[in-house]
Structure 1
Amino acid sequence: MTLTPVPFRQFVLKVHSRCDLACDHCYVYEHADTSWRGRPRHASDEVLAKAAERIGEHARAHRLPAVHVVLHGGEPLLAGPARLRRAAELLRAALPVGCTLDLRIHTNGVLLDREFCRLFDQVGIKVGISLDGDRAANDRHRRFADGRSSHAKVLAAVALLRESEFRHLYAGLLCTIDVENDPAAVLDALIELEPPRIDFLLPHATWDTPPKRPPGMGRTPYADWLIAVYDRWTAAGRPVPVRIFESVHRTLRGRTSLTESLGLDPADLVVIETDGELEQADSLKTAYDGAPATGFDIFAHSLDEVARHPGMMERQSGLAGLSTDCRACPVVRSCGGGLYAHRYRGDGSGFANPSVFCGDLMKLITTIRDLAPGPAGIPEQSVPVEPVLTEAQLDELAHGYGSAPTVTALAAAQLGLTRRLLAAVAAGRAETAEAWELLTALDAKAPRALDAALAHPYVRAWAVRCLNGEPGADLGALAGTAAVAALRAGVDFELELPVHEGALRLPGLGRVLLDRAGATARVTGDAGGFTVRTAAAPLRIDWDTPNTPNTADTAEGGPWQPVRRLVLAGGWTVALEDTDPQRDSHQWPVAGRLTGAEVLDWAGPLQEAWELIRRDLPGYAPGIRAGLGTVTPLTAGPEGRDISAASRQAFGAVGIARPATAPILALLVAHEFQHVKLGAVLDFHDLYDPADDRLFHAPWRPDPRPLEGLLQGTYAHLAVTEFWATRVRAYDGLRSDAADAARLQLATWRAHTVDSVAVLAGSGSLTALGERFAAGMRATAEPWLAVPVGEQAERRAREAAAENLARWRARSGRTAPAGT
């Protein structure tokens, strides 16, 4: 299989090539590579402008939702405020609309002052500080050339970032491990500085220049040191995220790593030097002189050309790019062979070796695995990765809303997650090789068609089931997704697809009913349709015949059963998904194949519901139109009960049993899409402490709820409350059963929502972003308290809430509604 280069999403921009410290473990000046001697001291305006242009060009070509740029050196602060301002302005101006810039600077901190901090506040640069622990640990390596300590100046820099004015700029601390330093003292010193994150970095070394292993420390001193830190960190309640530990936790569960030194994720980073030369990762400077060089520069070459450099491709080849020993290792999916540079041996084998820290990584990973056992699949709660939303977009969502660009950014992040999940499913499995080869070819030839296929909500649900080893997770189904992508692209293909219960399924397009119960069928496709070959006569499905997968045709009969799509006035297209077996991801039973009459029964109410949403919930409508493309019909619930659901693993879909009225359908759509949005946020951002296992009172339920359940319900009820507030305003001055019912609903749901926000805010378990969400929800909900509903509605709502609380107390055995 030919590997398609992964687009670069991370860029290290060298703005200065000299340093004001003389750290003896520095890979730039103290290891094998000497290219720094011939570099310009700082990047010129011409280099900065062309670098920004190339990054913007690359982001536009690959439709990247975000890029991450680190201003680096040497010591980047030596470039001065004017040059750093210029770099930030050029980068932001060059990116296409909709692409977010995550801009950071990595510095030793000794020059950081208030002027720099004010500049970084103005241009949006976050600051990471290198610090190796307490003074004794830091001074072991990080000194000035004359031997003076840098520790006091670094602490002063961190103190600036901890001030309320600049706290939002504080990105974290980077600590290079020295096993002769006291691990407990190092961790305590770093935690005392309240960093948003800590990175512990193994010292750069190769098989030719191995890391120091002091006498008496055993064969795995780096593992032992990190395990001591891990134990102390865990005992302290994990007060701050530690990237290496989080990455081990994630990769043990089949998820992506947060660092290039662990896991099998393809490398997506390129370095731009002060003279405009394009290089591989800086860590390669420790291997041999010239190791990072590519021979490319920003003036003569595009970033796509650099991505095809053999060294870049090697670092994107996952399991296939590792040594034989690594591929056979039981922890390879967590370790990933370690940092690429650490595998180097100058005996002709190059990088085709295990890491020089192999034994340490094995011991660290297996120890953490044994200390924190759990399922090997994908956890419901995600550990955050790099931000996918801007501050403004997070504020939109915190208030309950979400514009089309914001929801589109969420969808793009979910698509990236789906891609990584599929890669994890397919990695190293012979039964998926044929489908994976077609998918990677389409990624290069027809990426939009591939994205459309992978955006089908239940592709991710299937991948998660596979990784968790759940029932209904047939690896052969990957071929169905590959076939859909090829059919959308209109390219020729041939694949073996599974047949289950007499049906061959094309996720998001439909299914073919066959007259046999065989295990597989051979499918060939082209621009006009596809042919299914089994032991029976070949079956041809042409797109130019009725009931194609791109129409809402309701004709009955025939072997091809497409997913029907309703194109509603007002710009919303929604699929009624009744063919994909993975649609059973919702908590309620799904309906079977809809008849033509049943499709029409959905079409009218959905159109009316959409018109109501646009009129009565204008803050929610753009996000729904941008992000909700699938409604899965559910079986009807008990008489008088409306049934709906959302699945954390199926972004873009909701399940609904068609209610009696269009207004209730509008309410269910808005309610469930709130869950969809918040679930997508939680995939990438921590809003609360996942270690908090207390149960809380939710005023709308008799059973105690975990913190996330309370958060999800409160967030969904923002839309519910606004729906009823709008209807109460429409009934202003009118008396009728419908008006009285609306007033009771508003009185009930606004009280529930405001009370639950208060419980969340007082839980003590929200992160800073979670507190921001609580404040946003409160700001949205509190004005509805002023909408008059009358004393009768208020009284009935209070009585119902008191009855609910009594049931909750009886069920939980608690006397207070706070967390237990």
Structure 2
Amino acid sequence: MRRSCEAAEEPERSGQTTPDPALRHHRLDDDSFAMLCSTGESLPATHALLDAEYSRRLLLLRVLVDEVSARPAAVGALASAREAWDLLARAQRRSPQTVHRLLMDPQTGLWAAHTLRRLRGSEDGDAPLWSDVGQLHALAAAGAVLAGVGCRIIVPARDGAVLLPCLGEAQLAAAEPWGVAEVSAQGGTARIRDLRDGGSGVDVPTDATRDAPGWSGTRRLSLSHRGLTLNLTVDDQARYPVIAGTTGPDRLDEAQLRHWHSALDRAWTQLVEDHRESAEALAAGLFSLVPLPTGERFRPRSASASEAFGCVTLSAPDARLADDEVTVELAVTLVHEFRHTLLNGLMHLTPLADESSDLFHAPWRDDPRPLTGVLHGAFAFSGVARFWRARSARDSGSARERARFEFALWRRESRATLETLRTHPALTPTGRRLVLALLADIRSWDADPVPETSLLLAEQAAAHQRAAWRAHHVSPDETTVRAATDSWLRGTRPPLVVAEEGGSVVTDPAGCRLDAFAHLVRLRIADPHAFAAARDGGPLPNGVTPADVAYVVGDRTRAAALYAEETQRPASWGGLGLLLGHPALAQRPELLRAVSLAVNRSSGQTPPPAELAGWLARAWDGDGSSTGAHKGSGSMSQSARCSQSMA
């Protein structure tokens, strides 16, 4: 359950979500708020957030219409924003539920927020401003068509394509990059035509989800099990990205759509059977899925966004893997991203933290995270831990072994992160209440029986990821590094300042796929043959080295020797710190790496990692005897010294 490094910046985790002052009258009642401050998902809390989000969408649209009306040039050759608004209002009077669905569509939220930012000059766009503004006209046209209201309105076209929200897309013959087209509706029929080509156009099918000549309908799936139904749009026509800066999805062919349907149907069945409360909340609040290409095994790409309540973007299930593995991965990812949606909804109502420049280690991410980002992750992964807790009690065989490992890992990591956040001064009272409630839930699981093997693997995986993260992203104090380097070169004992905490977080873009240990544990459990091949010199997963494999196998001597041969890779210093260092030094592999690099710059020689680690450890032991000294860098090879030290 990790993000690949290609998805390092996801909107809902990259910064603050600002509460809307106009929504201050919307408050969750105590019961709904208490249910939201939980590792589980509840239907009443979801409904309360949905009500607030609908009010917010209405406010966003009203503000957008007012701002565009004050700048008539913003609509270009289109009708005024108020005319589009009036048409949408007519559709609402005819069919309130139709317009409600349109306004709650995640693409509506993303479009409205993007266009408002453009109007206010805080964001650029590839399209002319009038084309983005004109999606209001397309929204009104879609409302009229769906509600059976007669209309004739000009809407924007991109490369000849006209997208009507919640209906589909028409492809006209003309392919001008930024053009216009007319939508006309009457008596239950609708037609879209280019005004410049003599009136030819595209007829919208009565069942708009069905493809027709020139028309690509919006894909909808209905998943039902034991009386609970999830109606989901597979939005392969999304124009406004969930992950900022990415391109839109490719249209799925029928085989791909069937594959998605089959995988989602299995995942939904599992959620309804074994995670009923979560499934009830998802059925109410999950609206659309934006498909991505298949990702790496155990590393699905997924994201949600604060302006896209009810949407998840997700990598396609891997058809090469066993159904059971695909099903549980898809189910837990849906729960994970839906929890981000819930927290985004809460953060639209009330602040959880004040501004803070602090950056944090987030065990589920490769990169350092801001306060709200790590709070988001802690909220989501506490729910992930709860999901695997349930699976530990229900699954059998290798699936149960996987569930126990995941539960042990995410219980540990969520708890540790929440303990870090608990006393942070930037948390608001609401934010602190949320953190303490999540902690109480997780602490209540302390008595859950988990095999010692699973606990040990979780402890090792957590330590390995944290060490690799620190080696990449933590820069030790320069004065400390310089003092240690000078002492090493003089052959004296390490300065006591080495044992003092210090340093700063500096994001290293190369810090990717730092979950190598956990990834290999998952592979060994789920696919012993693939793990054996990796162990015996075969293909390795991305971001994994032979040293990582040796560590997971339990061959610490070989792992240390291999890590010592690849010290150009920062993450390898994390492994070395764990294998060679004093327990305190194992928490600070960045110091071991920094001193090694500084010695090399000063002397042209690279100190043997094992010897350097043993020498630095004297600073924590407080041993001032001559045994803390060494004889200089010497000429023995690094690998030979490492082997001698590990013997």
Normalising by the smaller structure, the TM-score range is 0.5 to 0.7
1:410 aligns with 2:49: yes
AA at the equivalent of 1:616:
D
Q: 1:794 aligns with which of 439, 455, 458?
A: 455
Alignment-derived partner of residue 63 in structure 1: none
* Cα offsets for 1:204-244 (capped at 9, x unmatched): xxxxxxxxxxxxxxxxxxxxxxxxxxxxxxxxxxxxxxxxx
| Whole-Å separation in 1 of the counterparts to 2:37 and 2:381 | 13
Offset at residue 622 of structure 1 (A) = 1.3
Secondary structure of 1:567's match?
Answer: strand
**Residue number in structure 2 paired with 1:397:** 36
**CA 1:561–1:702 in structure 2 vs 1: closer, same or farther (change >3 Å)?**
closer
User: Residues 672 and 819 from structure 1, CA distance in 2 versus in 1: closer, same or farther, beyond 3 angstroms?
Assistant: farther
* 2:88 aligned with 1:424: no
Partner of 2:367: 703
- Higher-RCO chain (CA-CA 8 Å, sequence separation at least 6): 2
Partner of residue 808, structure 1? 469
Per the alignment, residue 665 of structure 1 pairs with: 330
CA–CA separation in structure 2 for the residues paired with 1:588 and 1:523: 29
Task: Give the corresponding residue for 1:464.
Answer: 113
Q: Deviations over 1:118-145 (max 9, x none)?
A: xxxxxxxxxxxxxxxxxxxxxxxxxxxx
Cross-structure match for 1:719: 383
TM-superposed CA distance for 1:591, in Å, is 2.8
**Which one-letter code corresponds to 1:434 in the other structure?**
E
- Using the TM superposition, give the Cα deviation of residue 742 of structure 1 relative to its aligned residue in structure 2, in angstroms: 2.1
Distance 1:590 1:522, change over 3 A: closer
Going from structure 1 to structure 2, the CA distance change for 1:596 and 1:414 (only over 3 Å counts) comes to: same
Report the equivalent of 2:511.
none
CA distance in structure 2 between the partners assigned to 1:533 and 1:681 by the alignment: 42
Residue of structure 2 aligned with 1:744, choices 401, 405, 411: 405
Residues 741, 688 of structure 1: alpha-carbon distance in 2 compared, 3 angstrom cutoff: same
> How far apart are the structure 2 equivalents of 1:798 and 1:705?
22
| 2:334 pairs with 1:674 | no
- Percent identity of paired positions between Structure 1 and Structure 2: 30
TM-superposed deviation, 1:542: 4.7
- Match of residue 173 from structure 2: 515
**Superposed displacement of residue 716, structure 1:** 0.7
Cα deviation code 1:53-79 (max 9, x no counterpart): xxxxxxxxxxxxxxxxxxxxxxxxxxx
Counterpart secondary structure, 2:19: coil
The equivalences for 1:503-652 within 5 A come to 503-518=161-176, 519-534=179-194, 535-536=196-197, 537-544=199-206, 548-549=207-208, 551=209, 553=210, 558-569=213-224, 570-585=228-243, 590-638=248-296, 641-652=299-310
Looking at structure 2, the residues matched to 804 and 817 of structure 1 have their Cα atoms a distance apart, in angstroms, of: 20
| Shift of residue 638, structure 1, vs aligned partner | 4.3
Determine helix, strand or coil for the equivalent of 1:786.
coil
Give the superposition deviation at 1:379.
Answer: 7.3
- 442, 446, 459: which one aligns with 1:785: 446
Q: SS in structure 1 opposite 2:182?
A: strand
**1:126 corresponds to which residue?**
none
CA distance in 1, matches of 2:334, 2:384: 10
Task: Give yes or no for contact 1:644–1:656 (8 Å, CA) kept in 2.
Answer: yes
Q: Distance in 2 between matches of 1:671 and 1:803?
A: 23
Q: 1:383 to 1:579 in 2, by over 3 A?
A: closer
How far residue 817 of structure 1 moved from its aligned partner, in angstroms, is 11
- For the Cα contact (< 8 Å) 2:142–2:165, is it kept in 1? yes
Which of 431, 438, 448 is residue 97 of structure 2 equivalent to? 448
d(CA) in 2 for partners of 1:586, 1:403? 29
Tell me how far 1:723 sits from its aligned partner: 1.7
Q: 1:808 to 1:379 in 2, by over 3 A?
A: closer
Structure 1 residue 443: deviation in Å? 4.2
Among residues 407, 412, 419, which one is paired with 1:758 in the alignment?
419
Q: Secondary structure at the match of 2:240?
A: helix
Shift of 1:502: 1.9
Q: For the residues of structure 2 that align with 1:587 and 1:604, how far apart are their CA atoms?
A: 30
Q: CA deviation at 1:445?
A: 4.5
Deviation at 1:616, TM superposition (A): 2.4
8 A Cα contact 1:452 1:485, kept in partner: no
- TM-score, L = length of structure 2: 0.63
Mapped to 2, the partners of 1:613 and 1:415 lie a distance apart of 26
Q: Secondary structure of the equivalent of 2:55?
A: helix
Q: Matched residue pairs, number?
A: 432
Q: Any idea what SS the aligned residue of 1:505 has?
A: strand
Instruction: Decide which structure has greater helix share.
Output: 2
Give the structure 1 partner of residue 358 of structure 2: 694
SS in 1 for 2:421: helix
Alignment check: 8 A CA contact 1:508 1:580 kept: no
Matched residue, 1:280: none
- Structure 1 position 499 matched with structure 2 position 157: yes
SS at match of 1:662: helix
SS class of match (1:581): coil
Structure 1 alignment gaps of length 5 or more: 1-377
2:91–2:143 contact (8 Å) kept in structure 1 = yes
Q: Which amino acid aligns with 2:19?
A: S
How far, CA to CA, are the matches of 2:335 and 2:245 in structure 1?
18
Alignment root-mean-square deviation, CA: 2.5
Structure 1 counterpart of 2:474, which letter?
Answer: S
Provide closer, same or farther for how the CA distance between residues 640 and 673 of structure 1 changes in structure 2, counting only shifts above 3 A: closer
